[in-house]
C-alpha cells in the first residue's frame, strides 16, 4: 500500500483531445514526479457501454487507487467485443485518468482535480475518426447520443477546476500545466512546477531611444484583448513654479519636486500574450484565471491567492536596470475587496480584481531617455524581442517627426457622436444631507473623518466612444504620475490618478503618499498662486491630511520593523494640470519574512478613501453611500516578480464597461473627506472640481439635478 495519490481526471466529449492531453501532461509531470496513467477507453464494455464503463472504472480502478492500492481491472477487447485480459494499474504520486466519464458524479469525491476538455464539433469528429480509423465511424452517432444523455443528468463541465478549448494546435498541455498548480488540492504536490516557472531567467535589453509612448503602446498592444499601460503621463511636462512665501523652506520645495520626479520616472506597458501570459479576474470570492486556451475557477480570497503567486523574489533585478518592475502581474483592485480586510461584503458590476501576468514588457525610463525590453526565457521570447525592438525604433522616429505633444494625446477633448449625459447617485441636496449625517457620526464619536463618495454614470452606444482615444485625450488634458490605461476585454479603465497608495520596494522599503486637500487651478497666475497658498495654510485640510497620515502609520506598522515608520513629508503642496493637492509621505521597512500580500491587504483600501478609523468608518460609508464603488478608490499598479509593488489610488478614473448589448456604461467616482468643520457647499464644490478633468474631456457637465 502506497500513500494516497493525487488523482487528476481529464474528461470531455469524444474527439476533444483528452488522450493526447493526458499523455503530454504525464510526460511533463514525470520530470518531477512518478505518474500513472489510465485510459477509460480500455474499460468501456462495448459501444453501448458508457454508463457501465463508468461504473466499472469507479469501483475497480478509482476506489483502490484513491486508497493507494493497486487497481486490478478487466479490459475490453474491441475486436472480439468481449471482456479481455486482466490488467493492473499501479498507484503513483500523481494518477491521471482520462476519458469520457472520468469525472462523473460517482468519481468526483475521489478526485483531486477535474480538467474538462472541449473542442469545436468539426474538430472533435475529425480528430476521433483520424485516431481510430473506420472502426469508430459507424458508431459515432450512437456514442455521441450516450454522451449527451449522460451529460444531461451530470453537468461535469460545471464541476471542472480547469477547462480547456483544445483546438489541436499543440498549446493545450502548456496552458493547462500553467493553471494546475493554482488548484488548491494540487498546489502542494505541484510546487516543483510552480518553482520552476518562478525560477525562469529574464532577458533585459536597453535601447537608447525616446519612443512616443502612445505610438509604441498602440503598435505593440493596440489589438490585444487584455493589456496594461502604467503611464507616467506627466513625465517631461513643464515644471510649474510658484513664488515662494517668505516663510517657505527651500528644502521642502526641493523635496516635493524630487518626490514628483521619482513617481513619474517609469512607464510600463504589457499584455498577457506569449506562452506564459495569464489573466485573472476575481469576483465575490471566486478567482477565474485564463492561460491561453485554458481557464480555471477557484473559490477563495483574492489576497490569499495573491500570496501564492507573488511575494518571494523569483527574478533578480538585471545589472544596470534602474527600475523595480521585473515582469509580473499588472492591473487593478476594486474597493469591494474590503470584504477581505475588515469591510462588509458588497457586489459590484465590475470585477473586484483584474490582473494580467506579463511575461514580457517594455519599460520606459523618462529620466535617462531609454527603453528597456524585458522578457522571461521562453521559446517565443526572441520573436517578441525582435518585434518590440522594431516597434521602439519606429515609435522613436515618429516622436522625432511629429513631436510629443501632438501624438501623446492630440485633442484635449473627445467629440462624441452622442453626448454623454451623466447622472449622479446623489442629487446635490442628497449629498449635502449625507455630509450632515457623516458629521452626526463624528459628533457621536463613531469616527473622526469620513471620505464620502458618490458615483456619476452614463450609458451610451458603444460606437459613440473609443476608449483608447478617450484615454489619450485624458492624459493630454490632465497628465499625472500614476495615469494608466487598462483593457480587459470589454472593460477599459482610463485613469489620471496623482496619488500613490502603497509602494513596497524589492528591498522591503515601504511608502504611502496620501492626498487630502484639493484646490482647482486658475488660468490667472495671481489667482492660481492664491489658491495654492490657501490650500497650504488651510487648518481644515491639514487636519484631514494628518488624520490619514496617522491611519497609514498604523496600517504600515502591522508588518514594519518596529521603529521604522517615519513621516518624511507632511502636508506638502503639489500642483497638477487641473488641481493643487496636499500630499504627505510615510515610510517604513517591511519585516523580513513577512508576507508582502498580507502587508498590502493590511493597508487596503487606501485610508485616504475611507477615513479614520478605517474599519468602523467603512461600515458608516456602506450605510451612507448605499451602493458599491467598484474599481473607484481601489488600486492600480503592479506586483513584480522581484517582490516589488507600486500601486496608485484609483481616483480621477473613468471606467468604461461594455454591456454586450451595443452599449457601454461610463462611471466616474468622486468624493471628499468630511470632518466636523466641513461646510456642505464647499465639500460639494470640491467633488465638482475633482470631476472636472474627466467630464470636461468628454464634453460633459456635472449633473446638478
CB atoms within 10 A of CB 454: 24
CA 335-336-342 angle, to 5 degrees, is: 100
For residues 209 and 205, what is the distance between their CA atoms, to the nearest angstrom?
Answer: 12
477 an active-site residue?
A: no
516 an active-site residue?
A: yes
Q: What is the mean pLDDT of each run of 10 residues along the chain (705 residues)?
A: 85 92 96 96 93 96 96 91 92 96 98 95 73 70 91 96 90 95 93 80 94 97 97 67 43 60 91 96 96 95 94 84 96 98 93 97 96 94 96 85 48 69 95 97 96 96 94 93 96 96 96 91 92 93 93 96 96 87 96 96 96 95 95 98 96 93 95 94 92 92 83
Calculate the dihedral angle through the C-alpha atoms of 154, 160, 165, 166, rounding to the nearest 10 degrees. Answer: -90
Say what the pLDDT of residue 161 is.
96
From residue 544, alpha-carbon distances to 249, 360, 515 in Å are: 22, 41, 9
Say what the pLDDT of residue 213 is.
96
What is the H or E stretch that residue 144 is in?
Answer: helix 140-153
Q: Of the candidates 581, 519, 589, which has an alpha carbon nearest to the alpha carbon of residue 558?
A: 589
pTM for this one? 0.91
Q: Of the candidates 80, 79, 78, 44, which has an alpha carbon nearest to the alpha carbon of residue 61?
A: 44
Say what the pLDDT of residue 411 is.
59
Peptide bond into 605 cis (omega under 30): yes
Q: Give the contacts of 517 (CB within 8 A, at least 6 positions apart).
A: 535, 538, 541, 542, 544, 545, 571, 581, 582
Longest dimension (CA), the chain: 102
From residue 353, alpha-carbon distances to 63, 290, 329, 376, 519 in Å are: 39, 14, 11, 24, 31
Q: Give the contacts of 629 (CB within 8 A, at least 6 positions apart).
A: 334, 335, 336, 348, 453, 455, 669
Chain centre to alpha carbon of residue 388: 23
Q: Which phi and psi angles does 595 have, rounded to 5°?
A: -75, 120
For residues 111 and 93, what is the distance between their CA atoms, to the nearest angstrom?
Answer: 13
Q: Of the candidates 559, 555, 544, which has an alpha carbon nearest to the alpha carbon of residue 593?
A: 559
CB atoms within 10 A of CB 240: 15
**Burial label, 285 (beta-carbon count in 10 A; 0-12, 13-18, 19+):** middle
> Euclidean distance between the first and final Cα of the chain, in Å?
75
Contact 598, 504 (CB under 8 A): no
- Helices H / strands E in the chain, number of each: 19, 31
What is the H or E stretch that residue 114 is in?
Answer: strand 113-118
For residues 343 and 339, what is the distance between their CA atoms, to the nearest angstrom?
Answer: 5
- 3-state SS string for 337-375: HHHHCCCCCCCCCCCCEEEEEECEEEEEECCCCEEEEEE
For residues 12 and 167, what is the distance between their CA atoms, to the nearest angstrom?
Answer: 13
Say what the pLDDT of residue 577 is.
78
C-alpha cell recorded at residue 162: 480547469
For residues 676 and 671, what is the distance between their CA atoms, to the nearest angstrom?
Answer: 16
Say what the pLDDT of residue 201 is.
87
Which residue out of 434, 503, 516, 614 is catalytically annotated?
516
Q: How many residues does the chain have?
A: 705
Q: Of the candidates 90, 92, 61, which has an alpha carbon nearest to the alpha carbon of residue 76?
A: 61
Q: Are strands 113-118 and 266-271 parallel, antiparallel or unpaired?
A: unpaired
Give Rg (Cα) of the chain: 29
Say what the pLDDT of residue 256 is.
56
Which residue out of 193, 399, 441, 499 is catalytically annotated?
499
Say what the pLDDT of residue 248 is.
45
Q: Are strands 663-674 and 449-461 parallel, antiparallel or unpaired?
A: antiparallel
What is the H or E stretch that residue 85 is in?
Answer: strand 82-89
Q: Which phi and psi angles does 388 have, rounded to 5°?
A: -65, -40
For residues 318 and 227, what is the distance between their CA atoms, to the nearest angstrom?
Answer: 24
C-alpha cell recorded at residue 289: 484565471
Say what the pLDDT of residue 405 is.
42
DSSP 290: E
Q: Give the contacts of 456 (CB within 8 A, at least 6 positions apart).
A: 422, 423, 424, 425, 667, 668, 669, 670, 691, 695, 702, 703
| Residue environment code for 525-562, b if the CB has 16+ CB neighbours within 10 A, otherwise e | eeebeebbbebbebeebbbbbbbbbbbbbbbbbebbee
Amino acid at each position: 500500500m502506497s500513500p494516497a495519490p493525487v488523482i487528476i481526471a481529464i474528461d470531455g466529449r469524444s474527439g476533444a483531445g483528452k488522450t493526447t492531453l493526458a499523455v503530454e501532461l504525464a510526460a511533463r509531470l514525470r520530470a518531477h514526479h512518478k505518474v500513472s496513467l489510465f485510459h477509460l477507453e480500455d474499460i468501456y464494455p462495448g459501444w453501448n457501454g458508457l454508463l457501465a464503463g463508468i461504473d466499472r472504472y469507479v469501483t475497480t480502478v478509482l476506489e483502490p487507487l484513491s486508497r493507494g492500492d493497486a487497481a486490478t481491472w478487466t479490459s475490453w477487447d474491441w475486436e472480439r467485443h468481449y471482456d479481455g485480459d486482466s490488467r493492473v494499474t499501479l498507484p503513483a504520486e500523481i494518477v491521471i485518468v482520462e476519458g469520457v466519464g472520468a469525472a462523473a458524479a460517482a468519481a468526483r469525491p475521489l478526485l483531486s482535480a477535474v480538467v474538462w476538455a472541449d473542442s469545436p464539433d468539426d474538430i472533435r469528429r475529425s480528430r476521433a475518426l483520424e485516431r481510430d480509423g473506420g472502426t469508430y465511424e459507424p458508431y459515432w452517432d450512437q456514442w455521441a447520443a450516450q454522451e449527451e444523455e449522460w451529460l444531461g443528468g451530470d453537468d461535469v463541465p460545471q464541476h471542472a477546476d480547469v477547462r480547456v478549448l483544445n483546438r489541436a494546435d499543440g498549446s493545450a498541455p502548456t496552458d493547462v500545466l500553467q493553471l494546475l498548480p493554482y488548484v488548491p488540492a494540487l498546489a502542494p504536490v505541484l510546487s516543483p512546477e510552480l518553482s520552476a516557472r518562478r525560477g525562469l531567467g529574464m532577458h533585459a535589453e536597453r535601447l537608447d531611444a525616446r519612443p512616443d509612448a502612445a505610438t509604441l503602446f498602440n503598435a505593440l498592444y493596440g489589438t490585444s484583448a487584455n493589456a496594461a499601460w502604467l503611464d507616467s503621463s506627466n513625465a517631461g511636462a513643464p515644471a510649474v513654479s510658484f513664488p515662494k512665501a517668505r516663510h517657505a523652506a527651500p528644502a521642502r520645495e526641493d523635496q516635493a519636486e524630487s518626490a514628483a520626479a521619482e513617481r513619474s520616472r517609469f512607464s510600463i506597458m504589457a499584455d498577457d500574450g506569449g506562452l506564459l501570459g495569464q489573466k485573472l479576474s476575481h469576483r465575490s470570492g471566486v478567482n477565474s484565471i485564463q492561460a491561453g486556451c485554458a481557464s480555471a475557477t477557484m473559490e477563495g480570497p483574492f489576497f490569499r491567492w495573491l500570496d501564492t503567486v507573488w511575494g518571494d523574489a523569483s527574478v533578480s533585478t538585471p545589472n544596470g536596470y534602474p527600475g523595480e518592475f521585473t515582469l509580473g502581474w499588472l492591473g487593478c483592485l476594486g474597493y469591494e475587496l474590503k470584504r477581505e480586510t475588515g469591510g462588509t461584503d458588497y457586489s459590484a458590476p465590475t470585477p473586484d480584481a483584474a490582473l494580467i501576468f506579463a511575461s514580457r514588457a517594455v519599460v520606459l525610463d523618462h529620466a535617462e531617455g531609454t527603453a528597456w525590453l524585458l522578457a522571461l526565457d521562453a521559446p517565443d521570447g526572441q520573436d517578441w524581442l525582435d518585434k518590440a525592438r522594431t516597434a521602439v525604433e519606429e515609435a522613436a522616429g515618429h516622436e522625432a517627426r511629429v513631436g510629443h505633444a501632438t501624438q501623446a494625446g492630440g485633442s484635449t477633448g473627445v467629440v462624441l457622436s452622442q453626448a454623454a449625459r451623466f447622472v449622479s447617485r446623489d442629487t446635490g441636496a442628497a449629498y449635502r444631507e449625507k455630509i450632515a449625517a457623516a458629521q452626526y457620526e463624528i459628533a457621536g464619536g463613531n469616527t473622526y473623518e469620513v471620505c464620502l463618495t458618490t458615483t456619476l454614470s452614463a450609458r451610451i452606444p458603444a460606437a459613440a466612444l473609443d476608449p483608447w482615444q478617450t484615454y489619450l485625450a485624458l492624459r493630454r488634458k490632465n497628465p499625472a504620475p500614476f495615469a494608466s490605461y487598462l483593457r480587459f476585454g470589454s472593460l477599459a479603465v482610463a485613469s489620471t490618478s496623482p496619488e500613490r497608495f502603497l509602494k513596497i520596494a524589492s528591498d522591503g522599503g515601504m511608502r504611502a503618499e496620501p492626498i487630502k486637500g484639493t484646490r482647482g487651478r486658475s488660468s490667472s497666475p495671481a489667482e492660481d498662486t492664491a489658491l495654492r497658498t490657501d490650500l497650504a495654510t488651510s487648518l481644515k485640510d491639514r487636519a484631514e491630511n494628518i488624520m490619514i497620515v496617522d491611519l497609514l502609520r498604523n496600517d504600515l506598522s502591522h508588518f514594519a520593523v518596529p521603529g521604522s515608520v517615519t513621516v518624511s513629508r507632511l502636508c506638502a503642496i503639489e500642483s497638477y494640470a487641473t488641481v493643487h493637492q496636499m500630499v504627505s509621505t510615510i515610510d517604513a521597512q517591511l519585516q523580513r519574512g513577512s508576507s508582502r500580500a498580507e502587508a498590502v491587504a493590511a493597508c487596503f483600501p487606501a485610508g485616504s478613501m475611507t477615513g479614520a478609523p478605517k474599519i468602523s468608518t467603512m461600515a458608516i460609508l456602506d450605510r451612507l453611500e448605499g451602493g458599491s464603488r467598484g474599481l473607484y478608490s481601489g488600486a492600480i499598479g503592479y506586483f513584480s516578480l522581484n517582490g516589488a509593488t507600486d500601486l496608485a489610488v484609483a481616483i480621477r478614473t473613468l471606467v468604461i464597461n461594455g454591456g454586450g448589448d451595443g452599449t457601454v456604461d461610463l462611471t466616474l467616482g468622486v468624493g471628499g473627506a468630511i470632518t466636523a468643520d466641513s461646510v456642505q457647499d464647499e465639500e460639494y464644490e470640491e467633488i465638482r472640481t475633482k470631476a472636472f478633468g474627466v467630464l470636461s474631456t468628454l464634453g460633459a457637465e456635472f449633473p446638478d439635478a
